[in-house]
Amino acid sequence: MLLKTLTQHFTNPLYLESGRILEPYDIVYETYGTLKDNKSNVVVVCHALTGSHHAAGKYEDDIKAGWWDGLIGPGKAIDTNRFFVICTNVIGSCFGTTGPISNAYPSQEPYRYSFPVISIKDMVRAQRILFDKLGIHHVQAVIGGSMGGMQALEFAVSYPDFAKKIIPIATTHATSAWAIAFNKIAREAIVKDPDFKNGYYDIKSIRQKGLTGMAIGRMAGHISFLSHDSMDKKFGREYKKDDSLFELFGKFQVESYLEYNGYNFSKWFDPLSYLYITKAINIYDLSRGFDSLKNALQNIIAEVYLISFKNDMLFPSSEMREIYDTLNQIGTTKSRFKEIDSNYGHDAFLVEIDKFEDDIRIMLDE
């Protein structure tokens, strides 16, 4: 698979939903496959909260492949023998695209808290500007899970003519109080950690040592990505073999798992980016600027294929079904909804690809 990572620099201002301006800015993106001369075979993939532009494939030094490698590649559901796939790193992230730890031009110091609050709409607007720069004005599909699904829906509403098909997975039209509450725990844990230093932490030190508050917040968030059944099946009441049952700080396997993932995560994802992106997720509401969700969805002319998962606690199937029902109310005939039978939880869109890859293949073939 032909795999490339590229950076596009923009000097024109990016006008944000908040009324603020970001300039200049960079967008890092990754491409897979070969672009046809008439640019008619593009599929856009949008990443989730802690994802990046590296959605598939491996570079020479990579330990593991991109986060959706099971879905993207030669002969896979998103077939790079047919499609030219693009995945961009969103504004506000920490993997090369301009974010709070980028230098605030013209200084050589990071933005930190002076970085503007960004929204899902801003992330999508920046991507749309990138695609225009690349001469890509229409694509076969936009697909994404979780926050990536939010972006896919935003593309459909804000840029109706851009995509033929929109495939949002495990997402919602407006972030619920339940999801905001989990984000609050993570955000509070980060800002109250003394080593966070009110956003003026040493970036290199955090990458080496991590941040305890962020690790704790990630543990709480990780619970929302799973389900009661999946955690019980994976861990049950199994205790660490080297710990005594009556040792005060002895651990169950589930505790050890959360610790391991939480502390590792705090070394590779930036805490300020986490604050900014969770803020974007919290304020996400597809109907903002419209009288109702119904009015927002009336903008859509693309075919919409909605995929949800049973036992997704973060973005329940009922929230995606509401989108589908509303599309039906306004007479949209080019929409479908499928609930995947899964006990895994929200992260099923990343780990149970075998349960929906054939659906994606069919959707892209139609």
Residues serving a catalytic function are 146, 312, 346
Largest CA distance in the chain: 68
Nearest to 99 by CA among 199, 191, 205, 225: 199
Q: Is 90 exposed, middle or buried (0-12, 13-18, 19+ CB in 10 A)?
A: buried
**In the chain, what is the straight-line distance between the N-terminal and C-terminal CA atoms, in Å?**
24
The answer to whether 311 and 229 have CB atoms below 8 angstroms apart is yes
Euclidean distance between CA atoms 111 and 249, whole angstroms: 40
